[in-house]
Amino acid sequence: MTGLALIAGAGALPRLLAGALREPFLLAELEGAPSEVAGEPLRFRLERLVPFLDHLHAAGVRRVVLAGGVRRPRLDPELFDARTATLVPRLLAAMQGGDDAALRLLIGIFEDWDFEVIGPDQVAPDLVPGAGVLTGTPTPQDEADAARAAQIVAAIGAQDVGQAAVVARGLCLATEALPGTDAMLDFAARHRAVLPDAAARSGVLFKAPKPGQDRRVDLPAIGSETVARATAAGLAGIAWEAGGLIVLDRAATVAAAKAVGLFLWAREP
């Protein structure tokens, strides 16, 4: 019996959390969304969510941590069991909204079944840096760009759209939407020529949770791949709301930023 379940999605975060856990845990995955965590997971479908929750209870699970990316599945009406079918109106309403709405519903359902939902930072607090510069030195222009980007991220986050923006010399080059941060940075790289003095390295990627977001799930994250894409976009650095972002494999991410001269800055809100 185990008291904790890791509901793992795509990306490095579930693997890092699994490595940080010092207690037995049950690994679960949404069918069709394999994670990088080693082991044989318990796979489930949203159409049979209630039997899955019953299984967790039977296994002795009392706490749940949700980590990693998951694409919104296409629901098959023929697969719903009778009890999960009662959740359909709530599921459909949430899935038609933004990510925050869908995740709030999922947390609410777990809590309705008396599970405690905990955040990744409660499992591995070192993944979420406090205020300070991890590497490099932001210039006054970088600080101004980060402040402008923070305003933009707060605005789009309030509409449950995204958690990131790219600002260079006060101009917004890109904002994050459903395709995610990588797609946003690729867009910024392709369209950098619209900026004045586009050849000079400048601009900041800024990330922060959405206003009012439940921080137990879907905290923004960066890693060495983010550094590579920010470099390709000609940016000077990456900033984020201190205490509101996960740095995946901090040593590797900081080393990658140092190697290309990008700053990494956990900015006070």
pLDDT tens-place string over residues 81-115: 999 999 888 877 766 766 667 778 889 999 999 99
pLDDT tens-place string over residues 9-53: 888 999 999 998 888 999 999 888 888 898 899 999 989 999 999
According to the model, what pLDDT value does residue 48 have? 94
Per-residue pLDDT, averaged over 162-170, amounts to 96
DSSP 3-state assignment of 46?
A: helix
pTM, full prediction: 0.85
pLDDT tens-place string over residues 36-46: 898 899 999 98
Percent of the chain scoring above 90 in pLDDT: 70
According to the model, what pLDDT value does residue 33 have? 81
Locate tokens 């922060």: which residue? Answer: 208
Q: Which residues are CB-contacts of 199 (< 8 A; sequence separation ≥ 6)? A: none
CB-side exposure of 134: number of CA atoms within 13 Å?
Answer: 27
Q: How confident is the model at residue 63 (pLDDT cuts 50, 70, 90)?
A: very high
Say yes or no to pLDDT of 78 above 70: yes
Percent of the chain scoring above 70 in pLDDT: 97
Q: How confident is the model at residue 182 (pLDDT cuts 50, 70, 90)?
A: very high
Say yes or no to pLDDT of 231 above 70: yes
Q: Which residues are CB-contacts of 96 (< 8 A; sequence separation ≥ 6)? A: none
Q: How would DSSP label each residue in 24-76? A: --EEEEETT---S--S-PEEE-GGGHHHHHHHHHHTT--EEEEESB-PPPPP-
Say yes or no to pLDDT of 1 above 70: no
What are the structural domains, with CATH classification, of the chain? 4-123 (3.40.50.20), 128-267 (3.40.140.80)
Measured distance CA(20)–CA(15) in Å, rounded: 9
How much is the mean pLDDT over the chain? 92
